[in-house]
C-alpha cells in the first residue's frame, strides 16, 4: 500500500532516522512549505553519548530516551512514523517499509552507524556493543549477573573470569566506559558485594600506540595515567584476533579470560538497503557534495555517521555536534530548494572536543587549547546537560549526577529489557 501525503499540493520531505542529525533536521523544518515525515524504528530519540552511564547504572534508561512526538508537538507540518525502512528506491522516489510505500519529493538519510568488527571471529556473537538503549541495558544486566554469580562461586579461576571486563577500543567510548566501570567496581559493587572487593578487573585494549587518538599525544598519555590510577589495565598496540564466551585472544598469542567483552573499536555506516547502487566512501558512507546532497541525486541528502563529508581535505568525524550542524544546514538547503533556489555549501564549525575519564578527570581541546583534569570533566557534564533534549531530562540528569558524584550512591539492580521494550 502506498501512503499518500495528506497535503498533495505540497512537497513531501522524508527523513529516515531520528538520531542527532535527523531529529535536528525535522525540528529545523518546522513551518516549512512542505510536509515533513520523520521515520524511525523507535519512537524515542536516544542520547547516545550517555549510554555508557546507563550501562554502568549511573543513569536510568528513561533519562536518555526522549519521546520524539513530545518534541514535535506544535510543529503542524512535521509528523512521525514508527517503522522499519526496508529499502529506498531513488529512481521512483519511494521508501519501502515492507507493507507500505512512502513516496517522497526530497529525502534525508540519517540512519547512523553500526559497530564494525573488522572481521574478527566471534565478535558479533559474543561481544557487547553500545549503540542503542537495548545494548546498554543488556550490558548492565550482564555485568550485574556476573557479580551475582561471582559472589557465590568457589572456583577462583571462574570468579576472576566473571569479574574481568575487557573493553576493546581506546577511543572516547572505550575510555569513558572503562573509567565508569572502574569507579563502579570500586564503589557500589564493593559496598554491595564485599566478598568481591579485590576481584574486579577492567582491561582496556587499544590497537594503536595511544589512547584517544583524536586528541593530542599529551592528552592521550594523561588519560593513560589517570585510568591507571583508577585501576584500569591499559594495553596499547594490542590487536584482538578472536572473541569467545571465555574471553579474547591477541595477536601476540596472549589470551585474556573475561566473561564480558565490550567492542568499542569503531563503527561503520548503516545506510538503508538501496534499490540502486550509490557512490560510497570509507566504511560504507554515502559520498556527498559540499551541499550535503548525494553525488548522484539533487533531492537526496545524507547526514551524520552515514555520510562521508570532507572539509579542508579531511573526513568529518562522526560526532554529535557535526550531525546537529548538518541537520540545520540540510533543513536550510531544503527550504532554499522549495523556494527554487540553489543549496549552499556546508561548513562545519568545530567548537572543540571533550571526553570524560572518570574519577573527576577529563580531557578537552577547545579553540586550540588542550587541557585535562577536573575542568574538562565539569565542562563535559555541562555540555551534555545542555545538549539533552527536554528540560525535565536535563534537570533529572543533573540531580542524578549530584547524587552519584557527591553521595556516591548508585542503585545496583537488574532491569528487564521488557520493562522498556516489547521485543
- Cα–Cα distance measured from residue 128 to residue 259, given in angstroms and rounded to the nearest whole number: 11
The answer to whether 176 is a known catalytic residue is: yes
Buried/exposed 150-172: b ≥16 CB within 10 Å, e otherwise: bbeeeeeeebbbbbbbbbbbbbb
Q: How many CB atoms lie within 10 A of CB 98?
A: 10
- Cα–Cα distance measured from residue 148 to residue 140, given in angstroms and rounded to the nearest whole number: 13
Catalytic choice (176, 183, 195, 296): 176
Q: How many CB atoms lie within 10 A of CB 182?
A: 26
- Cα–Cα distance measured from residue 354 to residue 367, given in angstroms and rounded to the nearest whole number: 12
- Phi–psi pair at 194, nearest 5 degrees: -60, -25
- Cα–Cα distance measured from residue 384 to residue 19, given in angstroms and rounded to the nearest whole number: 15
Which residue's entry shows cell 581506546? 170
Backbone torsion region of residue 284, taken as left when φ is above 0, otherwise alpha when ψ lies between -120 and 50, otherwise beta:
left
- Cα–Cα distance measured from residue 231 to residue 171, given in angstroms and rounded to the nearest whole number: 18
Which residue's entry shows cell 519512537? 43
43 HSE (CA, 13 A, CB side)? 9
- Cα–Cα distance measured from residue 219 to residue 362, given in angstroms and rounded to the nearest whole number: 9
Q: How many CB atoms lie within 10 A of CB 108?
A: 28
Residues forming a β-bridge with 205: 168, 235
CA nearest to 281, candidates 301, 304, 310, 313:
310
Residues forming a β-bridge with 81: 39
Q: Which residues are catalytic?
A: 176
Amino acid at each position: 500500500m502506498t501512503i499518500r501525503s495528506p497535503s498533495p499540493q505540497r512537497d513531501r520531505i522524508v527523513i529516515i532516522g531520528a538520531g542527532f542529525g535527523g531529529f535536528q533536521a525535522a525540528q529545523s523544518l518546522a513551518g516549512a512549505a512542505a510536509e515533513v515525515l520523520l521515520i524511525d524504528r523507535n519512537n524515542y530519540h536516544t542520547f547516545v553519548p550517555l549510554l555508557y552511564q546507563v550501562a554502568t547504572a549511573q543513569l536510568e534508561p528513561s533519562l536518555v530516551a526522549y519521546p520524539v512526538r513530545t518534541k514535535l508537538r506544535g510543529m503542524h507540518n512535521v509528523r512521525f512514523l514508527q517503522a522499519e525502512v526496508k529499502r529506498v528506491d531513488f529512481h521512483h522516489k519511494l521508501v519501502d517499509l515492507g507493507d507500505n510505500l512512502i513516496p517522497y519529493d526530497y529525502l534525508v538519510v540519517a540512519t547512523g552507524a553500526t559497530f564494525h568488527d573488522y572481521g574478527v571471529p566471534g565478535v558479533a556473537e559474543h561481544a557487547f556493543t553500545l549503540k542503542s538503549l537495548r545494548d546498554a541495558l543488556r550490558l548492565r544486566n550482564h555485568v550485574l549477573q556476573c557479580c551475582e554469580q561471582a559472589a557465590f562461586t568457589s572456583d577462583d579461576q571462574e570468579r576472576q573470569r566473571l569479574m574481568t571486563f575487557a573493553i576493546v577500543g581506546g577511543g572516547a567510548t572505550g575510555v569513558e566506559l572503562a573509567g565508569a566501570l572502574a569507579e563502579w567496581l570500586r564503589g557500589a559493587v564493593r559496598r554491595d558485594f564485599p566478598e568481591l572487593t579485590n576481584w574486579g578487573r577492567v582491561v582496556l585494549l587499544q590497537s594503536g600506540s595511544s589512547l584517544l587518538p583524536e586528541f593530542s599525544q599529551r592528552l592521550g598519555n594523561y588519560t593513560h595515567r589517570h585510568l591507571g590510577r583508577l585501576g584500569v589495565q591499559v594495553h596499547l598496540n594490542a590487536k584482538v584476533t578472536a572473541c569467545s564466551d571465555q574471553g579474547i585472544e591477541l595477536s601476540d598469542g596472549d589470551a585474556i579470560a573475561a566473561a564480558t567483552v565490550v567492542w568499542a573499536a569503531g563503527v561503520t555506516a548503516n545506510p538503508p538497503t538501496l534499490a540502486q547502487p550509490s557512490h560510497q566512501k570509507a566504511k560504507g558512507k554515502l559520498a556527498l557534495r559540499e551541499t550535503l546532497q548525494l553525488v548522484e541525486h539533487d533531492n537526496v541528502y545524507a547526514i551524520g555517521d552515514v555520510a562521508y563529508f570532507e572539509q579542508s581535505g579531511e573526513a568529518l568525524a562522526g560526532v554529535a555536534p557535526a550531525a546537529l550542524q548538518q541537520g540545520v544546514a540540510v533543513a536550510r538547503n531544503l527550504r532554499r530548494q522549495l523556494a527554487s533556489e540553489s543549496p549552499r555549501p556546508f561548513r562545519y564549525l568545530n567548537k572543540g572536543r571533550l571526553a570524560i575519564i572518570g574519577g573527576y578527570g577529563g580531557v578537552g581541546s577547545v579553540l586550540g587549547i588542550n587541557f585535562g583534569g577536573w575542568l574538562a570533566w565539569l565542562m563535559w557534564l555541562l555540555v551534555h546537560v545542555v545538549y539533552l533534549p527536554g528540560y525535565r531530562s536535563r534537570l533529572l540528569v543533573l540531580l542524578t549526577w549530584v547524587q552519584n558524584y557527591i553521595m556516591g550512591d548508585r542503585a545496583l539492580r537488574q532491569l528487564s529489557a521488557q520493562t522498556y521494550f516489547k521485543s
